Amino acid sequence: MKLKQWLIIVGVLGTAQALWAQQPTDIFDEVYTDRVDSLLNDVFFGDEEWSYLVEPRKHYQFLYWRSNFDSGTYFAGREIGEQQSNLSGQLYYLHSLGFYAGVSGAWYSQLDPGYRTTVLTAGYANGPQKMSFFRYRLAFDYFLYHDDDPDFDPAYSGGINTGITLKSKHAGVRVDAYHLLGDDFKTSLTVDGYSSWRLLRLGTYDRVSLEPEVSLFWGAELVEYQLNEVLIDPETNIIYDRYFEDTFGLMNIQLEIPLNIRYKQFDIEASWIHNFPHSMQDGLTYPESSFFRFSVGYLFNL
């Protein structure tokens, strides 16, 4: 596959989102959204930009399929289900003008039902022609839930992502704000620093590369606070000496070391990922964790 076609793929999307530790159904909904968002980062943000290489008045259209397997399931560095793996897939339509749309879903090994949410996405990404180092993006997600449990009441119906990318030849920074919408409203912020280094050339355009990345994730966590004085409800005589409140702050630092192979129409990646979670609750700590990710993508020319 020609280089400029891959450049269109790696220059389009990316998103992130937030944690609200309330009830298991809500947690899994948010974990799923986070998983899809990080997959979009993996697929569409690489080490090169495409806009200044595309011939004037000539446009390209593609379908891109990708499937990922994670050996563990984590949200903001917190393990969700002991040794829970997940398998996800995405299919996206991409246009060189910057428009894209797609559908994605994920299956979890310990969740019943294992597949419960489909995400529909539409968005736009672009950048000034004379500023190839800068890109901006806007995307809308809509969640379709598949759960017959009458007690299942998801808090979110969709989300909006806004973000920018600044980059040089071998390194870059992505900043994304994600807003969950529905019965509740939650916001998160992700900052990613990444680089790309070619290890082996497999022909004129194909290659093997190392693409390390460090991500910082800010979100809202339910934190317990101690009251300065004890309060007693006069009607129930219940004693209150603490309260709970959503607190926004740094929740996780993640290190990812992926080995990427681009060969003809295929995009293959194997990654080792390590979490350094941080809690805003005094005296509460989360253990560091690691897991592996393997993904395969294929590009269809239209």
Separation of CA 276 from chain center:
17
Distances (CA, A) of 78 to 31, 71, 134, 180, 213: 10, 14, 33, 19, 19
Name residue, tokens 């949200």.
75
* Cβ partners under 8 Å of residue 281, min gap 6: 221, 223, 224
Q: Give residue 74's pLDDT.
A: 87
Q: Give residue 11's pLDDT.
A: 41
Q: Give residue 276's pLDDT.
A: 95
Name residue, tokens 């979100």.
219
| pLDDT mean over 109-137 | 86
Q: Is the pLDDT confidence value at 49 over 50?
A: no
Q: Is the pLDDT confidence value at 30 over 60?
A: no
Band of residue 31 on the pLDDT scale cut at 50, 70, 90: low
Q: Give residue 45's pLDDT.
A: 39
- Determine whether domain 24-51+60-301 maps to CATH 2.40.160.40: yes
Sign of CA dihedral 178, 126, 213, 118: positive
Residues 171-211: tens digit of each pLDDT? 889 999 999 888 888 889 999 999 988 898 887 778 899 98
Residue 26: how many CB atoms within 10 A of its CB?
18
Lowest-confidence segment of 138-147, 209-218, 243-252, 292-301 by average pLDDT: 243-252
Q: Give residue 140's pLDDT.
A: 93
| pLDDT mean over 131-160 | 86
pLDDT top residue among 96 and 31: 96
Phi-psi bin for 83: left (phi > 0), alpha (psi -120 to 50), beta?
Answer: left
What's the pTM value of the predicted model, to 2 decimals? 0.78
Task: Calculate the dihedral angle through the C-alpha atoms of 156, 158, 159, 160, rounding to the nearest 10 degrees.
Answer: -150
Phi, psi (rounded to 5 degrees) for 112? -125, 110
Q: Give residue 51's pLDDT.
A: 36
Exposed e or buried b for every residue in 172-209, given b needs 16+ CB within 10 A? bebebbbbbbeeeebbbbbebebbbeeeeeeeeebbeb
Phi, psi (rounded to 5 degrees) for 300? -105, 125
pLDDT top residue among 253 and 97: 253
pLDDT top residue among 55 and 300: 300
Band of residue 153 on the pLDDT scale cut at 50, 70, 90: confident
Q: Give residue 29's pLDDT.
A: 53
